[in-house]
Amino acid sequence: MKKFVKSSVLFLLPVFVLLVLLEVMTGKIPNSYSYKQNYILNHGSELKALAMGHSQFYDGFKAESFYLPAFNFCNSGQRYVDNYYLLREYLDDMPNLKMVVMPICYFNVITKTMANDSALTDRSCYYHKYMNIDYDGRLPLKYRFESLNPKRAGHKVFSYYIQRADIIGCDSMGRRSTHYLKDRKHELGYDKIIESETLKEHDSSNFCISEEYYLIQIISLLEKKDIMLVLVTPPYYWNCGFTGVNKEQKKYLSDYMCKLTNNYPVYYIDLGDCSDFLYDDFYNETHLSELGAEKFTQMLNSKIDSIIHSERDLPQIRSQVHRSAFP
């Protein structure tokens, strides 16, 4: 038995040392998470607006073109649960913040059997490691250390130390810096991403909004701070002949946003089917290029300006609305 234990220790020790070394090496590599944390800590008091969300906003929101001093605080796959904990962690570092802009789209509509608001993903590891987010202690061990995914961590180390690749992946104002037109890999058309996110289900009574709990928590958190929340459906390259769009899925989102904006101090801008976006405004079917990002941000400027000037009495009206329809 002692021989077995000794052999096991001798076998596992190099593995443990390798994982520790991998963890340390990955932690020293510059990345968008650490960059964005440092930006907020150093420049948070200068900000009046913040974009938060997944890759469509990571590509689409050009902070330097926004009409308020702003920053792109987005990352690929960043969800409402991540946004909520990021706001909890960093709102005090942005004392002059007046507005948060976040995406909500067709793909946020899921079936009730798919819903799992408490689920965390392997990307949660990055928010924990580089942005000090612990998800109220709910983060499982496998997501607490980047080296526990040795394949991904090893690729990251190889890319940075051997290939000298750009690992940060965003520009100085937080927008993704790898989705330029010159990098577009295929002609726009059918896209497996669109197909995979289109529900086969057509019974709207079985639909719900993914992570609705955290969306409502974000709304409540910002309302207490008197920070305006603008939810935006970003544009898609629908003009590619794609016919699989679930119309009930789109209608459910529209109906949901109507109810949400009537019950909470939330503003909604729908650019999902906006025909003003042209072929070269898109990097791929669901993400904007640098040209599209400029156009998208300028449209937000115009539409938010219209909202502010046309709905000055809305907060007073909304304060009288009963909210029992929401959790």
Could you tell me the CATH number of the domain that includes residue 143? 3.40.50.1110
Quick check: is 296 in a domain? yes
- pLDDT-based confidence at residue 27 (cuts at 50, 70, 90): confident
Between residues 45 and 119, the one the model is more confident about: 45
pLDDT band at 317 (very low <50, low <70, confident <90, very high): very low
Interatomic CA distance for residues 54 and 292, integer angstroms: 16
**From the centroid of its chain, how far is CA 243?**
27
Going from the C-alpha of 66 to that of each of 15, 51, 206, 294, 304, the distances in angstroms are 49, 10, 38, 9, 10
Among the listed residues 103, 58, 108, the one whose alpha carbon sits nearest the alpha carbon of residue 292:
58
* Full domain range(s) for residue 224: 2-318
Residue range 240-260: mean pLDDT, rounded = 80
* Model pLDDT for residues 217-246, shown as the tens digit of each residue: 999 999 999 999 999 999 988 654 455 567
Least confidently predicted of 38-42, 202-206, 282-286: 202-206
Looking at the structure of the chain, the number of domains it has is 1
Predicted pLDDT of residue 107: 85
Cβ neighbours of residue 212 under 8 Å, at least 6 residues apart?
A: 117, 327
Residue 108 CA: distances (Å) to CA of 80, 117, 194, 230, 246: 10, 12, 12, 16, 13
Percent of the chain past pLDDT 90, that is, above it, reads: 55
pLDDT at 310: 73
pLDDT of residue 16: 64
Residue at 105: amino acid letter:
C
Alpha helices in 150-198 (DSSP H): 150-157, 192-197
Label residue 72 exposed, middle or buried (CB < 10 Å: 0-12, 13-18, 19+).
Answer: buried
Q: Which of 244 and 293 is assigned the larger pLDDT?
A: 293
Residue 324 domain flag: no
Nearest one of 307, 313, 326, 293 to 66, comparing CA atoms: 293
Q: For all residues of the chain together, what is the average pLDDT?
A: 85
Residue 241 pLDDT:
44
Pick the range with the lowest mean pLDDT from 56-70, 125-139, 306-320: 306-320
Output the pLDDT for position 321: 37
Residue 207: strand pairing partners: 111
Q: For residue range 164-216, what is the model confidence (pLDDT) as tens digits?
A: 777 788 999 999 998 999 988 888 875 555 666 677 778 788 999 999 999 99
Q: By the 8 A CB rule, do 18 and 42 touch?
A: no
Q: Is 7 within the bounds of a domain? A: yes
Which residue, chain included where needed, has tokens 């051997």?
162
- pTM of the entire predicted model: 0.88
Which residues is 208 bridged to in the sheet? 110
Contact 209, 215 (CB under 8 A): yes
Check if the beta carbon of residue 105 is closer than 8 Å to that of residue 56: yes
So what's the pLDDT on residue 262?
93
Is 323 part of any domain? no
Q: Has residue 140 been placed in a domain?
A: yes
Does 205 fall in a domain? yes
